[in-house]
Structure 1
């Protein structure tokens, strides 16, 4: 059985939807914090059980009978993130899984400027000696994050954000398709995959042009100093620690951590990845 964790989240749910086009529902199991939220999958014949990384004891039942376990990374950061991922890895191995997969990031590195990428690197470090083959999905930076930055930054048709660098903004839908393909073709990748990215790396100067094309308005780009932008975030109620993480995304982008473009995702999909313009057109409010 293929077990998918986090299957009610934005990425996890799409992975399950695409996996069900490749394998019978009876071969898929879900580990979710709230099984009621996965009722639609249960109605299709998918096994749904409660499993919570923060409650390791719950994972034995959730992972029972696993041949593969896909650990969708948690949305917390720092030591707690890595602790939860380690608990899931240990539970998967104990359950007898012959392969553990993990949704990592193209920028995973112990020296990254971005905390989440350091967490991904630490989780990959925990996977290496786990005792079974593993696959680390080096996902491109989620295009949905670019849309969130864009929708929050556009004031009077102006994008005001810290200085950035090129980023391979990649659609959730494409990454879900890739994960489903890899799960259905067990062993296709051992260890970290190549970066699973869109075909272009774009700056917010580029994104301003895209936003203008999509909205039919003239959209300009202005640079906000890091300290001023962080102060604005906290003044609007964003916790200081989280504001710091957001600033670090731009610091890492300036360092080129998310600029890589690789053809592997296109190969897995059988077509070119979704361009950011399509994601913006679909999800930008008012587009």
Structure 2
């Protein structure tokens, strides 16, 4: 059985949808903290069980009968995130899985100033040491994050952010398909190359796309890290989240989310989804 964790989230849910196009529903299990969020999959014949990375006993039940387990990274950071990931990897091995896969990141590095990246690097160490076949899917930066970083720029005409560097923005749909391929036989062992979209764009490039899509000019405005952080906090963002976003820009300045890599397009056998296609619904309402 193929087990997917985090199936209540955007990536995990998309992976399960891709799997349903490739294997019978009876061969798929999902592990979710709240089974109600996956009831739709249950109705389609997928096995749905509660699994919480903070509760190893629940994972033993959720992973029962697993041949492969995809551990989708949590939205936490720091020691808690690494501990939860390690718990999930260990539970997969104890359940008898012969292959453990993890949604890592192209920027995984213990020295990265972007907090999730050291967590991914530490989880990759746990994978290497787990004793069974493993795959660290080094996903490109989610293109949906560009929507969040744009914020109200289409309305105000200014995209205000610190100095940055190019980012290989990558669509969830492409990464979900790649994960499904890895789970159903595609030979992706060990740490993969960066799985990214076809172009790396900085925030000026993102502003340019927003201008073209809306027909209104969006100007890129560079501010200091300190001023950006202060503005986020003043608008009610928690300080740890503000620090995380400042770290994102610091890491991009160091080139940690570039360049774009052709591996994902070759794996999918088609062009990857461009950033403009991800931004269009948010900026224009088009579907």
Q: TM-score range by the shorter chain?
A: over 0.9
For the pair 1:11 / 2:39, whether they are aligned, the reply is: no
Distance of 1:284 and 1:244 partners within structure 2? 26
Q: CA deviation at 1:262?
A: 1.0
Distance of 2:284 and 2:88 partners within structure 1? 37
Q: CA deviation at 1:54?
A: 1.1
1:258: which partner in 2?
Answer: 257
2:190: which partner in 1?
Answer: 191
Q: CA deviation at 1:112?
A: 1.1
1:243: which partner in 2?
Answer: 242
Distance of 1:138 and 1:36 partners within structure 2? 30
For the pair 1:166 / 2:161, whether they are aligned, the reply is: no
Deviations 1:70-106 (A, max 9, x none): 0000000000000000100110000000000000000
Gaps of 5+ in 1: none
RMSD: 1.1
2:37: which partner in 1?
Answer: 37
Partner of 2:131, secondary structure, is coil
Gaps of 5+ in 2: none
* TM-score computed with the length of structure 1 as normaliser: 0.97
Partner of 1:244, secondary structure, is helix
Maintained 8 Å contact 1:154/1:160: no
Partner of 1:284, secondary structure, is helix
Distance of 1:279 and 1:151 partners within structure 2? 14
Maintained 8 Å contact 2:26/2:46: yes
Maintained 8 Å contact 2:154/2:216: no
* TM-score computed with the length of structure 2 as normaliser: 0.97
For the pair 1:83 / 2:117, whether they are aligned, the reply is: no
Count of aligned residue pairs for this structure pair = 286
Maintained 8 Å contact 2:154/2:211: no
Q: CA deviation at 1:68?
A: 0.2
